[in-house]
Amino acid sequence: MVHPASERLQQNAERIMQLWEERAREEISASLHHDSLILQNSLPEYLNFLVTELSTTIDRTSARIDADKVESDRIGRKHGRERAGYADYSITQLIFEYHILRQVVFQVLEEEAPLTPRERDIIISSIEQAVNDAATQFSETLSEIQELFMVTLTHDLKNPLNVVRMGTQLVLRRFERGDTHFDVTARMIGALDRLDVMIQNLLDASRLRAGQSLNLTFVNCDLEQLIQEVIEDLNFAYEDRFVLLSDGAIETCCSRKELRRVIENIATNAVKYGAPHTPITLTLRHNATSIHITIHNEGQPISPEAQAILFQQFRRTKTAGEQKGWGLGLFLAKSLVEAHQGTIEVESAEDKGTSFIIKLPILSAETTQPQQN
């Protein structure tokens, strides 16, 4: 004997989809941009699946239950994947589509007779699972689309940027230090370098938000030499404001490029937000197992409230004022330090200035192996 609710659903599936579409077009703005076939996409498949869920003639063996779960996941994920491909759809609208579908299904099925508690539970549970599957796939697909966009964007931007940088460096060689043209050209190169960093920050932030890890290559590195190189470059740009205090050479295994990026980011922040024309001190201390790199600047302290959001992405403190930026630098610095199994913290107080303290373990090639991707 065919189950009455299952039979009513099968007989009224087309009408349910028609009523659902009418309501969707009234209540979901993104639906107005798509024809019926695109708008309904996998939902008729889902109604067919729900027909079997309500049926009492199917033997619910463990194998059948597992097969039904796979099919439910497939249909829900198909709907989520298709919706993520449309720029006008949000995850909120996706979820609301299922809420409308549930209301329409109850409305149509109860026109002839009330549903039993068991039948209502089956429908509610099934739609909730479909919502979860669709929303999960929507988020995953959106992350994939965003990652592809960021990779393509950064690749397309870096090529002309490199051409401009190379040309500007050739022009710089024609002038002597102290020449007005030399200073202007050097500033142009500095601006190009900052633009390059901003592009890379956007790409890395996109990857981290998508739950991916950053690709780091670890090599043996003398941190004192690395910091000295950073200081030489910064002193060229900022008129010898940077000073290094060091215990001496210290070898560790690290991603040289990314650790340099962390130090440069915090050091240039010290220039932007610290007291002008005062020294900025980089201190390197180490013992048998750990390394401390401290970057200190004079100036107004960072308030406790600002410190609480300092390492969050796209958050900028009120003290940032007119300084340009996207609020990604410290978020990425923290992520990169943590990829080295380290920590970063800030100490800031009146009359003491601000210190960013990077604490790293001394790593060998073996201990960094899991960090490589």
Residues 9 and 138 in one domain: yes
Contacts (Cβ under 8 Å, ≥6 apart) of 179: none
Mean pLDDT of 162-185: 82
Q: Which of 82-86, 148-152, 309-313 has the lowest mean pLDDT?
A: 148-152
Residue 214, in any domain of the structure: no
Residue 347, in any domain of the structure: yes
Q: Which helix (H) or strand (E) holds 9?
A: helix 4-11
CATH number at 199 reads 1.10.287
User: Among 154, 178, 209, which residue terminates a domain?
Assistant: 209
Residues 201 and 224 in one domain: no
Mean pLDDT of 74-79: 85
At residue 232, does pLDDT exceed 70?
yes
Residue 154, in any domain of the structure: yes
Amino acid identity of residue 60, one-letter, is R
pLDDT at 212: 63
Residues 200 and 239 in one domain: no
Residue 113, in any domain of the structure: yes
Band (pLDDT 50/70/90 cuts) for residue 57 is: low
CATH number at 82 reads 1.10.490
Residues 131 and 152 in one domain: no
Residues 227 and 360 in one domain: yes
Average pLDDT of the residues of the chain: 83
Categorise residue 234: left if φ over 0, alpha if ψ from -120 to 50, beta otherwise: alpha
Dihedral sign (CA 129, 135, 136, 137) = positive
User: Among 154, 176, 209, which residue terminates a domain?
Assistant: 209
CATH number at 316 reads 3.30.565.10
If 0-12 CB within 10 Å is exposed, 13-18 middle and 19+ buried, where does residue 50 land? buried
Q: Which of 56-70, 273-287, 342-356 has the lowest mean pLDDT?
A: 56-70
Residues 362 and 223 in one domain: yes
Residue 334, in any domain of the structure: yes
Q: Could you tell me which residues are beta bridge partners of residue 211?
A: none
pLDDT at 207: 66
pLDDT at 370: 45
Band (pLDDT 50/70/90 cuts) for residue 371 is: very low
- List, as one string, the DSSP characters of 311-351: TSTT---GGGTT----S-HHHHHHHHHHHTT-EEEEEEETT
Nearest CA to 126 among 206, 43, 185? Answer: 43
Residue 167, in any domain of the structure: yes
User: Among 209, 230, 264, which residue terminates a domain?
Assistant: 209
Residues 130 and 28 in one domain: yes
How far are the Cα atoms of 43, 194, 219, 262, 318 from residue 333, in angstroms, in the given order? 45, 15, 19, 5, 20
Residues 362 and 224 in one domain: yes
Residues 50 and 167 in one domain: no
Residues 91 and 138 in one domain: yes
Residues 161 and 111 in one domain: no
| Number of domains forming the structure of the chain | 3
pLDDT at 312: 75
Band (pLDDT 50/70/90 cuts) for residue 316 is: low
Residue 231, in any domain of the structure: yes
Our CA dihedral for 361, 365, 366, 367, rounded to 10 degrees, sits at 20
Structure-block tokens of residue 165: 């940088």
At residue 293, does pLDDT exceed 90?
yes
What's the CA gap between 137 and 79, in Å, rounded?
8
Rounded to 10°, the helix 256-273/223-238 angle is: 40
pLDDT > 90 in the chain, percent: 38
Nearest CA to 259 among 282, 279, 275? Answer: 282
Structure-block tokens of residue 284: 């390197």
Residue 31, in any domain of the structure: yes
Residues 151 and 137 in one domain: no
Q: Could you tell me the residue range of the domain that residue 45 belongs to?
A: 4-142
pLDDT at 346: 94
Most confident stretch, 167-171, 294-298, 305-309: 294-298
Band (pLDDT 50/70/90 cuts) for residue 357 is: very high
